[in-house]
Amino acid sequence: MKNILSIILFIQVSLGLSPGFGQSKIKIACIGNSITLGRGSYNQPKDAYPAQLQALLGEKYQVTNYGVSGTTLLRKGNAPYWNTQQYQHALKSQPDIVFIKLGTNDTKLINRGYLNEFVDDYKAFVRSFTQLASQPRVVLLLPVPSFKADTAQIWDQIITRKIIPDIQQVAYDLDLEVIDLHSLLIDKAQYLPDQVHPDQRGLAIIANRLAELVKQKQDREYDVFSKIDSAKKITSFYGYQCADFKYNGRNCKIVKPKWSDKNHSWIWRARFWGTEPQVEIALLERGYHIVYCDVAELFGNEKAVSLWNDYYSLLRKAGLAKKGVLEGMSRGGVYVYNWAAENPKKVAFVYADNPVLDLKSWPGGKGKGPGSATNWETFKKDYQITSEEGVASFANSPIDKIKKIVKGKYPMLHVCGDADETVPMEENTLPFEQKVKALGGNITVIHKPNGHHHPHSLPNPTPIVDLILKARK
């Protein structure tokens, strides 16, 4: 048998054929407009993201560029993609994977009068592919940002306020994957020289993200919702199914991805559900779940930790990974670190954003920050503090638990505005970072020069997401 295989390989090489000759390639159809065509690059055939995707995926794949400049998703648009030969060719190709990147030209003033038909037209367009005999995997791509000032042309406000929510609605209704290209390029205006079309560098970002998606291992059988017995209300979270339910009398949520990664990974949002969700959306694209258990306003006290312990047990019984990512924005930093200090073996990574790490700083207002009188009274009640002596001796903030936190050996990332007026860095992240490093802990701080307490996160979450994914490998 070995000799026969050697002879076959010799014949293939002699004829200039690849070792995979005779095996059908996975066909990928890239549907889109001039951005798909690669108009922003000097060498369109080579630099267009479908061509770069082909180079990244190799000979097992056949990537075809079906882009047509100026086209709309709208049937009544000024140049409907529906009417093109490329559309017919794409259908006849019986693709295995379809990437749809349309919607940019639909934002022009000439087309806005028909945007109420965008969702229905998009669904019909998707179905024209899903009903093919090849039954392809269809992936929706959110448009890249536009930096044009001419509001009668391609306008980013329409992209963000209308087109993107509509595409996410289609993804929710038809249970389709959706990839956020807008966030990936929102801080890369220099990569869009004419303010609309990405150059080779921007197109490479798109190609690399799509290649990552194609290559990622998936578990499409796992369904966390089926493991939760509580009555659930299902709604859309940016195109993903979100289950709201009660557990131990607390409001809880789980958002599930279109498919789970092989680890059944999760990120735990501590507070301020839905605020600056770009990190969570990027992780959902990669098979992560989002989990939430409302323990406001307990300020990370013993009861809050106990409730989270019970919720963690529920998550584990439902099949989620042993270790998760904790996300704490503002006062959420207290919740995640106080829980992590007591549960070091259950934490894979901590992402804290302008975090409260010393409750005397906030809500106490004992330093340069204003504090919060109302929350300070709640804090004292939560911790049963009745005197100034009790305040002075209080040592249940994350900054008091650094030895326990460092023992967990999980990486930590803080994203902070250097001019945070509410939770001053010099009273929270800066001394915390110094003490963590002194004890050999792993902490990274991303500074936002002149940044204030709001907005949280980064417009392009890639630096945060990359560190999270690295920690999970």
Identify the architecture of domain 20-215 in CATH.
3-Layer(aba) Sandwich (3.40)
Beta carbons within 10 angstroms of residue 210's beta carbon? 26
Report in angstroms the alpha-carbon separations of 73 from 101, 111, 356: 9, 10, 46
Averaged pLDDT for residues 143-155: 97
So what's the pLDDT on residue 3? Answer: 46
The Cα 258–Cα 138 span in angstroms is: 12
Which single residue is written with the structure tokens 């000097």?
Answer: 42
Predicted confidence band of residue 472 (pLDDT cuts 50, 70, 90)? confident
* Average pLDDT, integer, range 131-136: 98
- N-terminal to C-terminal alpha carbon distance within the chain: 38
Write down the pLDDT at residue 23: 67
Residue 355: other Cβ atoms inside 10 A: 32
Name the pLDDT band for 43 (thresholds 50, 70, 90).
confident
| pTM of the complete model beyond 0.85 | yes
What residue spans define the domains of the chain? 20-215, 224-472
List the structure tokens of 272.
């301020």
pLDDT at 95 over 50: yes
Does 224-472 match 20-215 at the fold level?
A: yes
Q: How far apart are the C-alpha atoms of 275 and 277, rounded to whole Å?
A: 6
Instruction: Judge whether residue 360 has pLDDT over 90.
Output: yes
Query: How many whole angstroms separate alpha carbon 135 and alpha carbon 28?
Result: 12
Q: How confident is the model at residue 42 (pLDDT cuts 50, 70, 90)?
A: confident
The CATH architecture annotation of domain 224-472 reads 3-Layer(aba) Sandwich (3.40)
- Average pLDDT of the chain to the nearest whole number: 94
Stretch 111-130: mean pLDDT: 98
Residue-level pLDDT at 45 = 85
Mean pLDDT calculated for residue range 290-296: 97
